[in-house]
Structure 1
Amino acid sequence: MSDNSVIERVTLMVAPLVAQMQLELYDIEFRGGTLRITIDAPPGSASGLDLEAIALVTRMISRDFDHDDPVPGHYNLEVTSPGLERTLRTPAHFQREIGKTLAIRLRDPLNGERRIQGSLVAATDSELTVRLDDPAMSERVVPYTQIDRARTVFVWGPSPKPGVKPGMKPGMRPAGAKPAGSKKAAPTAASSSPTAASMAAPTTQEPS
Structure 2
Amino acid sequence: MASVEERLTTMFAPAVDALGCQLWGVEYLTGGRTKVLRVYIDKADGVQVEDCAQVSRQLSSLMDVEDPIAGEYTLEVSSPGMDRPLYTLEQFAQYQGQIIAVKLRVPFDGRRKFKGLLSGIEDQDVVMQVDNEEYLLPIESIEKANIVPQF
Q: Per the alignment, do residues 143 and 74 of structure 1 end up closer, same or farther by CA in structure 2, a change over 3 Å counting?
A: same
Return the match for 2:139 from 117, 139, 144.
Answer: 144
Uncovered stretches (5+) of structure 2, i.e. residues with no partner? none
TM-aligned CA deviation for residue 154 of structure 1: 0.2
User: Whose radius of gyration is greater, 1 or 2?
Assistant: 1
In structure 1, distance between residues paired with 2:147 and 2:94: 11
In structure 2, distance between residues paired with 1:52 and 1:83: 16
Q: Give the share of equivalent positions with the same residue, in percent.
A: 32
Q: Per the alignment, do residues 113 and 69 of structure 1 end up closer, same or farther by CA in structure 2, a change over 3 Å counting?
A: closer
TM-score (norm 1): 0.60
Structure of greater relative contact order (alpha carbons < 8 Å, 6+ residues apart)? 2
TM-aligned CA deviation for residue 152 of structure 1: 0.9
Q: Note the 1:186-197 alignment, pairs <5 A.
A: none
For the 8 Å contact 2:5–2:26, the answer to whether it is kept is no
TM-score (norm 2): 0.79
**Which of the pair is proportionally richer in strand?**
2
TM-aligned CA deviation for residue 53 of structure 1: 0.8
**Over the residues paired in the alignment, what is the CA RMSD in angstroms?**
2.5
Q: 1:197: which partner in 2?
A: none
Q: Note the 1:193-208 alignment, pairs <5 A.
A: none
Q: Is residue 71 of structure 2 the alignment partner of residue 69 of structure 1?
A: no
Secondary structure of the 1:99 match is coil
In structure 2, distance between residues paired with 1:153 and 1:140: 18
- Summarize deviations over 1:144-175 as a string: whole Å, max 9, x none: 3443432110000xxxxxxxxxxxxxxxxxxx
How many pairs does the alignment contain? 146
Return the match for 2:54 from 39, 53, 56.
Answer: 56
Q: Is residue 103 of structure 2 the alignment partner of residue 108 of structure 1?
A: no
In structure 2, distance between residues paired with 1:22 and 1:131: 36
Q: 1:38: which partner in 2?
A: 40
TM-aligned CA deviation for residue 21 of structure 1: 2.0
Q: 1:189: which partner in 2?
A: none
Which letter does structure 2 place at the counterpart of 1:51?
Answer: V
Which letter does structure 2 place at the counterpart of 1:64?
Answer: L
Secondary structure of the 1:31 match is strand
